[in-house]
Structure 1
Amino acid sequence: MLSAAPIKFRCARRTAIRFAGLLLVAAASSPALAAGCAFEPQGEGRVAAVIDARSFRLDDGREVRLAGIEPVAAEKADRRSALSALIEGRSVTLSGEDDTPDRYGRQSAFAFLATSEDSVQALLLAQGEALVSGTVADKDCALALTAAEAAARRSKLGIWADPAAIKNAESPGDILAGIGQFTLVEGKVLSVRQAGATTYLNFGRNWTRGFAATISRRVLSAFDTAGVGVKSLENRQIRVRGWVEAHGGPRIEVLRVGQIELVGGN
């Protein structure tokens, strides 16, 4: 998935491109961006086993977690099989901004096969077998990932074959059914309100029961740096991606600008 998720201003595409954390829907279709996630080398190895939908173990024992994507909901299918078909038993090269293992000892990285300039992440996204997380700050990489996701969505591949893959912000019950899942929600922001240290993007007229995206005060500076005032999102059609929580109505906490994108003719 303001990637993971992308912002498109009708007046000036070049203005939106400078937003490091924003993903452009229009620019996302450019094949020239396909190889945009080549960071510092983090080594290479042969994939000995696929652990889950976005994690694998190399033959030297290292565990790698694919950066920049989220797996689709488990009930849609066994998503581990998609990653297995791509990389199991094959050699990959790794790159990333930081090779420090996470608390589980996994190395977060972008993986590449010798047979493709696209990252494994982009290949999964292009098949509709993953979602953009909206966490990648590098704009070229973010655009490349969004391009792959958008192509699969247009072709109705994988998860996108389901018309309900993107939840309607006007149906809070449907969104609440996915509590604890990484979800995409689309709708019109009816109001932007601040309460204490939290800014609410309200999609329903009933603020307590309707869907809302929440932005903490500490994150607002990232929107300002991107040149996007959150108040400007009022009355715009946007897509929000993130983890669904329940606080009265369904909520998604926006931790990065890339989690929101303007859609359509905004």
Structure 2
Amino acid sequence: MTGPALRYSAALPACATLFLALASVAAQAAAADCVLEPQGEGRVAAVVDTRSFRLDDGREVRLAGIERGGTDTASGRAALSAIITGRDVTLHGEDDTPDRYGRQSAFVFVTGSEQSVQGELLRRGEALVSSAISDKNCAAALAAAEATARDAKLGIWADTTAIKNAESPGDILAAIGHFTVVEGRVLSVRQAGAITYLNFGRNWTRDFAATISRRITPAFESAGLGPKSLENRRIRVRGVVSSRGGPRIEVFRVGQIEVLGGK
């Protein structure tokens, strides 16, 4: 397997426990092994949006591993344009099959740089880490880059509402349809049919909850994050907000949940 390694060095937020901080150091060391297969190269002709661009041969590329940050799309697009417009880039990833819109998803490197475009956007606070990253080392590298901007309050993190408070369901509802980060304490964990609810409030029809399907519960248990173990813990959840009475984030992957501290 060839291709540039994704290397980042950053600390997790101060609110993390010592255990998580040590785990982060180990994860970042392992990130040196995050090597992705080459998927081609080209010159960037135009930026399409905050996460996509077009090469001069007509191919459209979607930046893998990140989501749009905040609501200021102009800022995110300008940041991406400043980094790659008119530059030669190489594409790397696990699968170069285009999505239904014909876009190739890839990690992108400006020629001659070992820093991915995704990592640079995260370090500037212009993007959020997606949960859809299968390689654990790559996921850890991107998380560390995001944490650097979050700790320094750069870009979207300069806004005090960048992380939604789980105790303010109205603010979370305003983000319906958008990838959002929510933080709070899990007050109860309840099973209803094939769905487990992590409830952040007492009113189940109004307050915020994260939901986990029974079919993916074993993955959480294997990662030491069994849903019941999250009761009374402060956690950070990321995902697309929907509404089923109260605001909801459906959890599909372990990477969507981060435990922030003790009980």
Tell me the TM-score normalised to structure 2 length. 0.88
Over aligned residue pairs, what C-alpha RMSD do you find? Answer: 2.2
Q: Tell me which residue corresponds to 1:163.
A: 160
Give the counterpart of 1:116 among 108, 113, 117: 113
Question: Amino acid of the residue matched to residue 87 of structure 2?
Answer: R
Unaligned ranges ≥5, structure 1: 1-5, 18-23
Give the counterpart of 1:71 among 68, 76, 86: 68
Q: Tell me which residue corresponds to 2:37.
A: 40
Aligned residues: 249
Cα separation, 2, equivalents of 1:264 and 1:227: 14
Q: CA deviation at 1:189?
A: 0.4
Once the two structures are superposed, what CA deviation does each residue of 1:122-171 show, in whole Å capped at 9, x if it has no partner? 10000000000111121110111001100001111000000110000001
Alignment of 1:247-266 (within 5 A): 247-265=244-262
Cα separation, 1, equivalents of 2:254 and 2:87: 35
Q: Tell me which residue corresponds to 1:81.
A: 78
Q: Tell me which residue corresponds to 2:101.
A: 104
Checking the alignment, whether the CA contact within 8 Å between 1:46 and 1:59 is kept in structure 2 is yes
Give the counterpart of 2:208 among 208, 211, 218: 211
Provide closer, same or farther for how the CA distance between residues 165 and 97 of structure 1 changes in structure 2, counting only shifts above 3 A: same
Provide closer, same or farther for how the CA distance between residues 76 and 36 of structure 1 changes in structure 2, counting only shifts above 3 A: farther
Provide closer, same or farther for how the CA distance between residues 106 and 152 of structure 1 changes in structure 2, counting only shifts above 3 A: same
Cα separation, 1, equivalents of 2:20 and 2:39: 37
Q: Tell me which residue corresponds to 2:4.
A: none
The higher relative CO (CA closer than 8 Å, separation ≥ 6) is in 1
Unaligned ranges ≥5, structure 2: 1-12
Checking the alignment, whether the CA contact within 8 Å between 1:204 and 1:211 is kept in structure 2 is yes
Checking the alignment, whether the CA contact within 8 Å between 1:38 and 1:110 is kept in structure 2 is no
Cα separation, 2, equivalents of 1:120 and 1:34: 16
Give the counterpart of 1:190 among 180, 187, 190: 187
Residues 1:172 and 2:190 aligned together:
no
Q: Tell me which residue corresponds to 1:221.
A: 218
Q: CA deviation at 1:225?
A: 3.2
Once the two structures are superposed, what CA deviation does each residue of 1:77-114 show, in whole Å capped at 9, x if it has no partner? 43211100000100111110111110111101000113
Q: CA deviation at 1:264?
A: 3.6
Query: Could you say what secondary structure the match of 1:79 adopts?
Result: helix
Give the counterpart of 2:135 among 133, 138, 142: 138
After TM superposition, the structure 1 stretch with the greater mean CA deviation from structure 2, 215-224 or 241-250, is 215-224
Overall identity of the aligned pairs, in %: 71
Deviating 4+ runs (over 4 angstroms): 8-14, 32-37
Checking the alignment, whether the CA contact within 8 Å between 2:31 and 2:137 is kept in structure 1 is no
Q: Tell me which residue corresponds to 1:3.
A: none
